[in-house]
């Protein structure tokens, strides 16, 4: 999933355990390593037709997930490497195309968040498809919970509406099994720890793995209690995202960064989620501090709700920008599901445009 913050492309090498080198000389060449995602979701239990390299990249270009320059570089190199393409089961694990000190392909990832079941699960399914088609790079899907301590009033209200309509974990999983195989964008679940404990960590990880989910965010698990969660996530090919905040001490932040599997989630402000008039200037310094401690991608969330804020945070060096409450409000407060989906599409495209 972390690849979505770097390059946004899908492929399978004939020998996926072998990296290959890109560069104009051995000094500045970059090794591209390949990691296989063996999802056993519906997409893995039926035959997946291989499509050509040009068709794959045309799809990705239309969604704004790959630059024109990288498109032609990949065509040249991957034809030479005899690459076999599949869509969408396999992801590059890490891709940093650097010639000297200049990034050739640096697109900041757009990571929208929506609440499952608000206004209903059928609309959620359609919203996932909309977000997938509008240039999202990772989609966060919130599992509604009765005591969402990290969430502000907009997402709390969405969770309340969703639960009142009978949405539960099993119905969300059923929906995801139907929808995830149709998506080219990785999905990360955002859930509190209690629903995980209720089912048992091993069983929970197995269940979400079988849907094709790639990532997991659990905001109320402290680092000291996350070891077993991280172990089971890794065992099931799930990338556990850890959060750091503006008040996290430096030593603890470094431990969080070391433990993160997918990307580092930088909470941009104190308090709960929700739209804010501006993003704190402290975020720029926090980003610099985290990037000095790790090469892992860093995504910034909490309080980001406009195209201007998205662009500002990207300019500060974020690898990804997470937008939640603004998305949730569009779906939850629309006059009809159709109107909400249309507004979601327009808003997502405006954010994608701000990052390109």
Q: Which residues are catalytic?
A: 140, 151
- The secondary element (H helix, E strand) that includes residue 22 is strand 20-22
Cβ-based neighbour number of residue 53 at 10 Å:
16
- The secondary element (H helix, E strand) that includes residue 240 is strand 239-244
Q: In whole angstroms, what is the distance from residue 89 CA to residue 41 CA?
A: 10
Q: In whole angstroms, what is the distance from residue 3 CA to residue 10 CA?
A: 10
Annotate 210-227 with DSSP letters as a single string.
HHT--EEE-TT--GGG-H
| 7, 97 Cβ separation under 8 angstroms | yes
Q: In whole angstroms, what is the distance from residue 257 CA to residue 146 CA?
A: 29
Contacts of 246 (CB under 8 A, 6+ apart): 267, 268, 269, 270, 280, 282, 283, 286
Q: In whole angstroms, what is the distance from residue 226 CA to residue 223 CA?
A: 5
Question: If DSSP codes are grouped into helix, strand and coil, which group holds residue 141?
Answer: strand
**For 26-168, where are the alpha helices, taking DSSP H only?**
42-45, 53-62, 68-80, 121-133, 153-164
Annotate 241-263 with DSSP letters as a single string.
EEEE-TT--HHHHHHHHHH-SS-
């Amino acid at each position: 999933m972390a690849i979505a913050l770097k390059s946004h492309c899908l492929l399978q090498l004939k020998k996926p355990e072998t990296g290959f080198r890109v560069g104009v000389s051995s000094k500045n060449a970059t090794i591209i390593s390949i990691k296989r995602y063996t999802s056993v979701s519906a997409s893995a239990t039926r035959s997946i037709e291989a499509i050509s390299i040009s068709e794959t990249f045309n799809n990705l270009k239309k969604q704004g997930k790959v630059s024109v320059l990288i498109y032609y570089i990949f065509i040249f190199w991957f034809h030479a490497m005899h690459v076999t393409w599949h869509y969408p089961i396999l992801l590059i694990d890490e891709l940093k195309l650097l010639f000297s000190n200049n990034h050739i392909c640096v697109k900041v990832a757009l990571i929208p968040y929506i609440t499952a079941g608000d206004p209903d699960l059928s609309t959620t399914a359609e919203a996932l498809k909309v977000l997938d088609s509008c240039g999202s790079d990772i989609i966060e899907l919130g599992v509604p919970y009765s005591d969402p301590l990290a969430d502000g009033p907009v997402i709390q209200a969405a969770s309340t509406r969703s639960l009142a309509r009978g949405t539960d974990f099993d119905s969300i999983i059923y929906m995801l099994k139907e929808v995830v195989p149709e998506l080219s964008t990785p999905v990360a679940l955002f859930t509190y720890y209690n629903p995980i404990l209720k089912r048992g960590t091993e069983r929970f990880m197995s269940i979400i793995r079988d849907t094709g989910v790639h990532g997991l965010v659990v905001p109320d698990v402290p680092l000291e209690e996350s070891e077993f969660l991280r172990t089971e996530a890794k065992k099931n090919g799930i990338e556990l995202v850890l959060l750091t905040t503006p008040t996290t001490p430096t030593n603890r932040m470094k431990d969080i960064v070391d433990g993160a599997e997918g990307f580092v989630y930088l909470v941009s402000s104190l308090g709960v989620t929700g739209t804010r008039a501006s993003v704190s200037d402290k975020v720029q310094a926090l980003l610099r501090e985290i990037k000095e401690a790790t090469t892992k991608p860093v995504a910034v969330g909490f309080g980001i709700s406009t195209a201007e804020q998205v662009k500002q945070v990207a300019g500060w060096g974020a690898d990804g920008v997470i937008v939640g409450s603004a998305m949730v409000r569009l779906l939850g407060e629309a006059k009809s599901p159709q109107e909400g989906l249309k507004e979601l599409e327009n808003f997502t495209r405006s954010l994608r445009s701000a990052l390109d």
